[in-house]
Amino acid sequence: MTNSPTMIVMIGLPARGKTYMSKKLTRYLNWIGVPTKVFNLGAYRRDAVKSYKSYDFFRHDNEEAMKIRKQCALVALQDVKAYLNEEGGQIAVFDATNTTRERRDLILSFVKENAYKVFFVESVCDDPEVIAVNILEVKVSSPDYPESHRERVMDDFLKRIECYKVTYQALDPDEYDKDLSFIKVINVGRRFLVNRVQDYIQSKIVYYLMNIHVHSHSLYLCRHGESDHNVEGRIGGDSELSTRGKQFAHALRGFIEEHELSDLKVWTSQLRRTIQTAEELGVPYEQWKILNEIDAGVCEDMTYDMIDNSYPEEFALRDQDKYHYRYPGGESYQDLVQRLEPVIMELERQGNVLVICHQAVMRCLLAYFLDKSADDLPYMKCPLHTVLKLTPVAYGCKVEMFYLNVEAVNTHRDRPLELVPMDHAPTQLRRNSYTPLSSHEQIKRPRLYSAGSRPWQFPEMPEGLQSQESLCEGIDFDSPEETSGCVRF
């Protein structure tokens, strides 16, 4: 956690992926527990100027438009101040071109006045193919272009870029900007230039930005086949697959063959139920210890009734705050998110991957890709014998669900409808892995959705062999094109 709030300031010409990076970075920081929000200056400009006419608005000699644009920036900075000072925010991402030293000096004065830290992220791209693809995939469906006539949009947007080029002043690491903290991302991550990283959170930002790759790929997530412990209602442990679990493993092999996933990498945990599921596939697989299920400590191998009878206070405490609750001698969901961070980094770098994992682990991974809050993460439905296909789109993720038609027990516990009032709840003491009572770990801070995101929920499981409809509810899309294939069950 940062000692003082931080502003991340994006820099770059239009169509350089600034908003893409802003949203991904915000989603990542929220996921690791740092409350972060994007402030997109384009949204402020569209509120101030209800209808966009042409690139003329962005000419540097259009004095009236320049006044409007500066006023929008000032309004956005006041919203940043309110978020960081009054709303519990830790990081504000200022998503705008910020291509002139005059604008950046304005931001630096604002940062100094409010005692914030600042980190600049400049996206530089001179590859015309990358720019053209970005315009067609994202800008054609922008609110600025309701007609969506591709040729006219491309022509106008290229002229808009030329307007910015006239006054663009890139960061100068050798002289003018040598004392600033920043990273230059060159040609979508082919090269990087990093300058004066000053604290832990800035190093995390650099680490993340150097790992995200823009390429076409899909991630497949599923739980292991049904285990003997699942049938008995026990949590944790290292049990083997049940008969139906083995049937699912066989069906999963058929799924891979049917979808012709020849270049697929397969990852498992080091627990027997995921390994036995992968063994049936007949392909190489990697075992990751950090993909092991959440450690239930003294409650391993117990049913929920057994936990309620043996540790009634623990049982009640977990229902009070499932995300932060830590099992005695075990882990919390918050611990699990931290453990899984290297998996997320590697998934961002990889091509097509199938991760065969566990219920709590799958929830944490899904929460990252679908921008779920800490309150909702522990209650995401991740049914057995179901494969989820996640495919990145412009500013979100398209989700497809495939039920492989092998019955299994339902291991999901719904969020309690009635909680003990906190005034009467058991006292929560600070706890490490060995103390007997539960607690909030460190300082509990609210984890927020990225700006504009809505809560995402699974629909009821469809019947039949498989379903290829997209489950897009709650994913933040910026254009109708991204949702054109989405059907809600």
Catalytic residue positions, numbered: 95, 125, 224, 293
Pairing of strands 386-392, 286-287: unpaired
Pairing of strands 353-357, 219-223: parallel
Q: Which of 203, 230, 29, 2 is nearest to 116 (CA)?
A: 2
Residue 438 to residue 312: CA distance in whole angstroms? 12
Q: Exposure of 359 by Cβ count < 10 A (0-12 exposed, 13-18 middle, 19+ buried)? A: buried
211 backbone dihedrals φ, ψ, rounded to 5°: -105, -20
Tell me the sheet residues that pair with 124.
186
426 in Cβ contact with 317 (< 8 Å)? yes
Token representation of residue 329: 């001698």
Looking from the CA of 405 toward its CB, the CA atoms found within 13 Å total: 8
Collect all residues with Cβ–Cβ distance below 8 Å to 383 and sequence separation of at least 6.
223, 403, 408, 410, 412, 461
Three-state DSSP class for residue 85: helix
SS (H, E, C) 341-380: HHHHHHHHHCCCEEEEECHHHHHHHHHHHHCCCCCCHHHC
Residue 224 to residue 383: CA distance in whole angstroms? 10
Token representation of residue 149: 């006539």
286 in Cβ contact with 268 (< 8 Å)? yes
Q: Where are the alpha helices (DSSP H) in 138-177?
A: 150-167
Residue 105 to residue 179: CA distance in whole angstroms? 13
Strands (E), 269-369: 286-287, 353-357
Q: Return the DSSP state at 7.
A: E
Which amino acid, residue 12? G
Token representation of residue 245: 């679990």
Residue 348 to residue 212: CA distance in whole angstroms? 5
Token representation of residue 157: 């947007």
Token representation of residue 460: 């009821």
Residue 472 to residue 397: CA distance in whole angstroms? 8
Rg (CA), the chain: 24
Residue 120 to residue 99: CA distance in whole angstroms? 11
